[in-house]
């Protein structure tokens, strides 16, 4: 890992220090993804079979997972793993139900009622990676909030292995979270299929889930096309930034850095500390622990893009972290909550020595599908709200229109939108006429009675 001192770097060097590994929008990648999407749109299922053979190295007999495959997957799973899946799902559900948006109805003036009602996105597509390793945890993080939101149809795509089957744990999670259809598809072709639809894969309204550079590029392209599909967020490779003081445990810090580095060669990890001794101890621990990992070669590639950065203080570390806007932020300091208020850009924050990022990945209850590559400056992680639309409703009585109509008419006139103004004033005039007519009627009745 490269060693740097933040306070001796000029502005250009600081930008370089916090730069992510170059990826995503390279011309060759963009053009290749464009071609995959165009081919899927033109040739549908036929193209999906061909791309599966080419990229996933498997010859599929069918794209959709069958009931027999679901049953075989459940039978093959270790009972301890199934129990852990249910345990994690329960905590994810507790948190996501508690944080789900709620309907709102308020009276903003007498006779003026404004509401917010919730409607689920009708058909959603979930992408669960399985490149170097399957991720059933991602199926949980997407399937549980989709179930709570009440989406009418939930479609899931995950790459097949060489034997033509999806990971058993991914299939089990799909079944217990109410996913309606699962397809053995990966990469940009899976995104294209869910965005535009084929004979087998339903066209989805919104797509969710992390992926490699090809998947991310495909999501960006289909979301820019009015005929495509919306997406949860832009995202890139996994990343973590750790802030550690002199009291932090270097063994824990190194383990947290490596837990992200092992995701893939384009992952990035950064450590900020005001303690040079801590930086030295963590560097040694990273080297020692990495040598023991089965995915050591992958982690080493990621570490080549990573940084150990000395800062003057924890306050400066927070400033640097906000500038980087990490997917995961770990505060390994004596008083982590003292720094929390200063953090304004992070996907998910982990406080203290006993909170490894891994629990957020699996079973604390929060969601691990988070904005990366700096998008935490403006995006949030996946939640129930991601699967819902929030629709506003307003209802005015005659008294309500009398109360706020003049305000609307004045503002419309200021914007020179005469039709807007008249939509209000014509109604106000009609109300005045109704009052006048009623007054005449009342006077006539009174005269007759006398």
d(CA 60, CA 200): 13
Q: Is 189 annotated as a binding residue?
A: yes
Question: H-type helices in 159-212, by residue range?
Answer: 168-176, 187-196
Q: Is 368 annotated as a binding residue?
A: no
Strand (E) or helix (H) holding 221: helix 213-223
212 assigned to a ligand binding site: yes
> Is 361 one of the annotated binding-site residues?
yes
Distance from C-alpha of 210 to C-alpha of 217, rounded to nearest angstrom: 11
**Nearest-angstrom CA–CA distance, 211 and 415:** 46
Q: Is 433 annotated among the ligand-binding residues?
A: no
List, in order, residues 6 or more apart from 148 with CB less than 8 Å away: 93, 96, 97, 100, 384, 387
219: left (phi over 0), alpha (psi -120 to 50) or beta: alpha
Helix (H, G, I), strand (E, B) or coil at 445: helix
CB 372 within 8 A of CB 236: yes
Q: Count of H helices and E strands in the chain?
A: 17, 14
Report, as residue numbers or ranges, the catalytic residues. 327-328
Strand 181-183's sheet: what is its strand order? 181-183, 153-157, 123-127, 206-208, 230-231
Backbone angles phi, psi at 113, to 5 degrees: -110, 125
Q: Is 415 annotated as a binding residue?
A: yes
3-class secondary structure, 331: strand
Binding residues for substrate: 238, 260, 263, 328, 361, 415, 420
């Amino acid at each position: 890992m490269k060693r740097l001192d933040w306070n001796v770097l000029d502005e250009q060097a600081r930008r370089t220090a916090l730069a992510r590994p170059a990826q995503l929008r390279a011309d060759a990648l963009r053009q290749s993804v464009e071609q995959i999407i165009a081919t899927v749109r033109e040739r549908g299922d036929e193209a999906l079979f061909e791309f599966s053979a080419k990229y996933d190295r498997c010859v599929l007999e069918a794209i959709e997972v069958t009931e027999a495959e679901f049953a075989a997957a459940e039978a093959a799973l270790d009972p301890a793993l199934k129990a852990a899946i249910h345990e994690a799902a329960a905590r994810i559900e507790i948190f996501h139900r508690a944080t789900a948006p709620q309907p709102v109805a308020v009276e903003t003036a007498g006779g003026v009622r404004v509401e917010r009602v919730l409607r689920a996105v009708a058909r959603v597509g979930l992408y669960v990676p399985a490149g170097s390793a399957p991720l059933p945890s991602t199926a949980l993080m997407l399937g549980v909030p989709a179930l709570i939101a009440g989406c009418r149809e939930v479609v899931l795509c995950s790459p097949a292995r060489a034997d033509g089957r999806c990971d058993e744990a991914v299939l089990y999670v799909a079944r217990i979270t109410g996913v309606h259809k699962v397809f053995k598809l990966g990469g940009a072709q899976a995104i294209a299929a869910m965005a535009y639809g084929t004979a087998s894969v339903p066209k989805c309204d919104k797509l969710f889930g992390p992926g490699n550079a090809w998947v991310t590029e495909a999501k960006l392209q289909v979301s820019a096309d009015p005929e495509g599909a919306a997406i949860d967020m832009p995202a890139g490779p996994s990343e973590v930034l750790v802030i550690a003081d002199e009291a932090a445990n270097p063994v824990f810090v190194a383990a947290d850095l490596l837990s992200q580095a092992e995701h893939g060669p384009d992952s990035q990890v950064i450590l900020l500390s005001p303690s040079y001794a801590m930086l030295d101890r963590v560097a040694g621990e990273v080297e020692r622990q990495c040598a023991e990992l089965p995915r050591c070669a992958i982690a080493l590639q990621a570490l080549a893009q990573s940084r150990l950065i000395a800062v003057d203080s924890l306050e400066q570390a927070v400033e640097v972290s906000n500038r980087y806007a990490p997917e995961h932020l770990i505060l390994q300091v004596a008083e982590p909550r003292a720094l929390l208020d200063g953090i304004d850009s992070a996907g998910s924050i982990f406080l203290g020595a006993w909170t490894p990022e891994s629990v957020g990945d699996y079973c604390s209850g929060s969601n691990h599908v988070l904005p990366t590559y700096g998008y935490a400056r403006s995006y949030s992680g996946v939640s129930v709200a991601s699967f819902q639309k929030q629709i506003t409703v307003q209802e005015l009585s005659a008294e309500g229109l009398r109360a706020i109509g003049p305000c609307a008419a004045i503002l419309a006139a200021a914007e020179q939108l005469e039709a807007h103004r008249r939509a209000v004033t014509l109604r106000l005039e009609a109300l005045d006429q109704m009052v006048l007519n009623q007054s005449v009627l009342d006077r006539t009745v009174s005269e007759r009675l006398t």
